[in-house]
Amino acid sequence: MTATIDALAAIVGAPHVLVHDLDAYANDWRKKYRGRPLAVVKPGSTEEVAAVVRLCHATGTAIVPQAGNTGLVGGGVPDASGAQVVVNVSRMNRVLAVDTTNNTMTVEAGCILQHLQETAAAHGRLFPLSLAAEGSCEIGGNISTNAGGVQVLRYGNTRELVLGLEVVLPSGEVWNGLKGLRKDNTGYDLKHLFIGAEGTLGIVTRAVVKLFPAPAATQTAFIGLGSAAGALRLLDHMKGALGERITAFELISAFSMNVLERFNPALRSPLAAPHAWYVLTDLADSRDALALAADVEAALGGALEAGIIDDVVLAKNEGEARRLWDLRETLPEAQIVDGRNIKHDVSIPISAIADFIAAVDAALEAAYPGVRPVNFGHVGDGNLHYNVTRPAAGYTEEAWMADESARVNRIVHDCVHRFNGSISAEHGLGQLKRDEIRRYKSETELGVMRAIKAALDPKGIMNPGKVI
Ligand SMILES: Cc1cc2nc3c(=O)[nH]c(=O)nc-3n(C[C@H](O)[C@H](O)[C@H](O)COP(=O)(O)OP(=O)(O)OC[C@H]3O[C@@H](n4cnc5c(N)ncnc54)[C@H](O)[C@@H]3O)c2cc1C
């Protein structure tokens, strides 16, 4: 073991091989998984990553690729064996090129997402990937989880934002697919294998990502309405009236708002009366601010008149918009007011979301009378974070999490499957859903996934125990 650590230090330099105080690298963001790495290695270049992987390949040492370590499924942390090496790419954090004519940016895997957004803005462009962890997650992790976030409706998932990749394969070979092409039909499109692979097929070291025109104007609205079905009618109505200018469309349940207010009384709905559901929506226009404001007012005014929505406030400035988004972005942590709950990141065809919510609410209520779903999500993309808080009486937090998780997951995921949805919309499988997915994917699909894994990583050293 010390020989491996010495050899790693010879590659990246001793200060970049950490063996003490490893909590930040060994434990995941939710503190659900607590690992024990042999060492944490922080390479400074693709060549160093490749040399580290060649060493691990030769010695049969397992590697856990890691970026910002904000993942929510335990994909980026080691097991407790003390034998796995975490390869953390955070030192590789340079923006290598910005091409405003090609509308691309070439970046290293350890760039923090927010830094990429700011770099794009400084060039009069938009890098649209946006999520609550953007101040600490890194593009290598975003690519490897095919992160979604709040602007998928208009710009797509990370997969749609990546044009080229450089990847260190489990053998230590470097695949240079660092092209900024929008058209390239030359056989299998390998980059898509690595996007969303959660570090099981190789280590992403660089990427070419797409840029878009920076919006000249944005508009944020917070809306109260009577039902989830109403939110879908509103989405349809807005798509008709405002087209592709809708960038975000988030659904928040009344109980989620209640959770927020109890977590922090300053986080209140800005609407005069309570509603059964809320929608937070963002719109953007790359040209005309006045036209956008007028169109949004007309569209939402029309929705009020048609009885699709009950009330709405429009943010008058950036500060007000920020405060509305604080509501949505604080929800992940606010849920702790009722103790830990059982989380689900699922997607359903958009048209079926209201029926899905009704079906899963009923199934859970039948199994656990008084159960409290904390339901919110990127509903414009069909993505719900359907989290299940225990009934107010009858279960301790520990018993709920330890004894009931499997049954609750089964109820929710079976319902997702029945609606032809996915049990992981944007967070991935990691360790959390690795076994669960076997119930919902066919043997054919699992067989193809295993064959790809075996072809690229026959020794099984790249993030073992995750995904497959
Ligand atoms: C408050 C909060 C809100 C969030 N909101 C969203 C959201 O809206 N949408 C969403 O999609 N996610 C969300 N997430 C989850 C998480 O932020 C994303 O999955 C993010 O993309 C992970 O990036 P990271 O740099 O932290 O990756 P890590 O956690 O370090 O790694 C994630 C996975 O990618 C692998 N990996 C990391 N770097 C590399 C690399 N260079 N090469 C190969 N594999 C690698 C790891 O092994 C692991 O499997 C949220 C998380 C938090 C804490």
Measure the CA–CA gap between 246 and 331, rounded to whole angstroms: 22
Tell me: pLDDT of 170 over 70: yes
Q: What is the mean pLDDT of residues 88-95?
A: 98
Confirm if 116 and 127 have CB atoms less than 8 A apart: yes
Mean residue pLDDT across the chain:
96
Ranges 30-34, 135-139, 364-368: which has the least confidence: 30-34
Q: Which H or E element spans position 360?
A: helix 353-367
- For residue 353, how far is the Cα from the chain centroid? 20
How remote is the CA of residue 265 from the centroid of ligand 1, in Å? Answer: 30
Residue pair 312/222 in contact by the 8 Å Cβ criterion: yes
- Is residue 1 predicted with pLDDT exceeding 80? no
Residue 148 Cα to ligand 1 middle (Å): 10
What per-residue confidence (pLDDT) applies to 287?
A: 82
Residue 223 · residue 248 · CB < 8 Å:
no
Q: Quick one: fold of 2-88? A: 3.30.43
pTM to 2 decimals?
0.94
Cα separation, 457 vs 165, whole angstroms: 18
pLDDT of residue 133: 94
When pLDDT is averaged across residues 344-349 and rounded to a whole number, the result is: 96
Find the 441 Cα to ligand 1 centroid distance in Å: 23
Q: Where are the beta strands (DSSP E) in 150-228?
A: 162-168, 174-177, 203-210, 212-213, 217-225
Query: What would the pLDDT profile of 212-235 be if each residue is shown by its tens digit?
Result: 999 999 999 999 999 999 999 999
Q: Is the CB of 386 under 6 A from ligand 1?
A: no
Best mutation site among 29, 48, 56, 70 for ligand 1 pocket (most ligand atoms within 8 Å of CB): 70
| Nearest-angstrom CA–CA distance, 213 and 163 | 17
Ligand 1 atom at minimal distance to the Cα of residue 140: 41
Q: Whose CA is closest to atom 16 on ligand 1?
A: 71
Phi, psi values for residue 167, rounded to 5°: -135, 135
pLDDT of residue 391: 97
Q: Where are the domains of the chain?
A: 2-88, 95-213, 217-335
Taking residues 193-218, report their average pLDDT: 97
- The residue among 200, 203, 140, 85 whose CA lies nearest residue 465 is 200
Q: What are phi and psi of 400, to 5 degrees?
A: -60, -50
Residues 438, 440, 444, 448, Cα dihedral to 10°: -60
Instruction: Indicate the CATH number for domain 217-335.
Output: 3.30.70.2190
DSSP letter, residue 390: P
pLDDT attached to residue 288: 81
| Nearest to 362, CA basis, from 415, 425, 403, 436 | 415
Ligand 1 pocket member 110 (CB < 6 A)? no
Chosen CATH of 95-213 out of 1.10.260.30, 3.30.465.10, 3.40.50.300, 3.40.50.1370: 3.30.465.10
